Amino acid sequence: MFELIFLGTSASAPSIRRNLPATMVLHKEYRFLIDCGEGTQRQLLRSGLGFKRLDKILLTHGHLDHILGLGGLVSTFSRWEAIPKLEIYGGTWALERVSDLIFGVVFRGVKPPLQIDLIPIEPGVLMEDDTFQLSAFTVIHRGPGCLGFTFREKEKRPFLLDKAEALGVPAGPERGRLVRGEMVTLADGTVVHPDQVLGPPVPGAKLVFVGDAARINNLVEVASSADALVIEATYLSKEGEMAREYGHLTAAEAATLAHQAGVRQLYLTHISRRYAEEAVLAEAQAIFPQTVVVRDLDHFRIIKEKAAS
Ligand SMILES: [Zn+2]
Ligand SMILES: [Zn+2]
């Protein structure tokens, strides 16, 4: 299960109701802040998330509406918060701008009181553990090294208790070893293979996060069968020319991607002040009904829907 909290949902400039882009993804002990538009620190407080354990920030790209909040955030961390280390992941171009902002402005001429690691990333797996994997993929927008992120629970094979008991596997470490895929020999000499006590693999939840994007054709595969797809919808089709010019998507294009990729739920963000939310929703839902136009502080739980049986 992933929790998805939208902290800012506006495109390029804030509106009365919408702050600049920032989204939190929570999974187990992990907290990932994706992008950090101006004013994100106040949105973190308003959301109730606060700053605790906020030590990993992922950047989709280096445009100012997605990074300017980092200046204020690290300044606050350096004065008030007991956060010893902050890791900021992004493409090289985004990190160059962030480096200028943090080390050339906020901490100009002084040693930062907390460790700030700027970690350049490329498409591929960024981190994983036994049950979870985070990976990055290429997004075409404006500027080099724009990225999207896939959060995925690894598939797992359920432990079949009735089978284990029938085979005489006692409660205890033997069961753990079988779950990890190891063969065990019981006290009476019986050898039990994991396949005897594990069911077929059950897929986990998949959350795909795309920031600003100019094209959808290169995203169909990465978004395939996602339980949730988060993506921008900066323009409506009537201004498709402007969308092309600035490297953004229309609501219809975002919905077309969701449809082509067979996702379960589409979350549209990066909403322009020029449109009413209803118009964005109507254009997308005409193509992909399972669409939400998200608002600041919206909170969703992303789970793997059980297959119909
Ligand atoms: Zn943007
Ligand atoms: Zn952008």
* pLDDT, position 90: 98
Query: In whole angstroms, what is the distance from residue 249 CA to residue 251 CA?
Result: 7
Please check the confidence at residue 227 and state whether its pLDDT lies above 80. Answer: yes
Q: What is the DSSP string of 123-164?
A: SEEEEE-SSEEEEEEE--SSSS--EEEEEEEPPBPPB-HHHH
* pLDDT, position 307: 55
How many A from CA of 236 to the centre of ligand 2? 17
26 alpha-carbon distance from chain centroid = 9
CA atoms within 13 A of residue 114's CA, in its CB half-sphere: 22
Nearest to 303, CA basis, from 254, 261, 255, 265: 265
How many A from CA of 61 to the centre of ligand 2? 7
Query: In whole angstroms, what is the distance from residue 272 CA to residue 243 CA?
Result: 11
Please check the confidence at residue 246 and state whether its pLDDT lies above 80. Answer: yes
Q: What is the pLDDT of residues 65-115, one digit of tens each?
A: 999 999 999 999 998 877 889 999 999 999 999 999 999 999 999 999 999
Q: What is the pLDDT of residues 141-187, one digit of tens each?
A: 998 999 999 999 999 889 999 999 999 999 889 999 999 889 999 98
> pLDDT band for position 309 (50/70/90)?
very low
Query: In whole angstroms, what is the distance from residue 9 CA to residue 232 CA?
Result: 9
How many A from CA of 178 to the centre of ligand 2? 48
Q: Which ligand is nearest to the CA of 214?
A: 2
For all residues of the chain together, what is the average pLDDT? 95
Helix (H, G, I), strand (E, B) or coil at 8: strand
How many A from CA of 307 to the centre of ligand 1? 36
How many A from CA of 103 to the centre of ligand 1? 23
Of 35, 55, 65, 227, the active-site residue reads: 65
Calculate the alpha carbon distances from 70 to 38, 116, 152, 212 in Å. 7, 11, 26, 18
Q: Which tokens belong to 95? A: 């990190």
* pLDDT, position 207: 98
DSSP H helical ranges for the chain? 40-47, 64-67, 69-80, 92-99, 161-167, 173-179, 194-197, 240-246, 251-261, 277-285
Q: Which ligand is nearest to the CA of 213?
A: 2
By 3-state DSSP, what share of the chain in percent is helix, strand and coil, each rounded to 5?
A: 30, 25, 45
Q: Which ligand is nearest to the CA of 12?
A: 1
Mean pLDDT of 12-21: 96
CA atoms within 13 A of residue 2's CA, in its CB half-sphere: 31
Please check the confidence at residue 306 and state whether its pLDDT lies above 70. Answer: no
Work out the number of other CB atoms within 10 angstroms of the CB of residue 204. 19
* pLDDT, position 305: 77
65 classed as catalytic: yes
* pLDDT, position 81: 75
Q: What is the pLDDT of residues 29-45, one digit of tens each?
A: 999 999 999 999 999 99
* pLDDT, position 82: 78
Mean pLDDT of 2-25: 97
pTM comes to: 0.91
Query: In whole angstroms, what is the distance from residue 62 CA to residue 142 CA?
Result: 9
DSSP summary character for residue 12: S
Q: What percent of the chain has pLDDT over 90?
A: 91
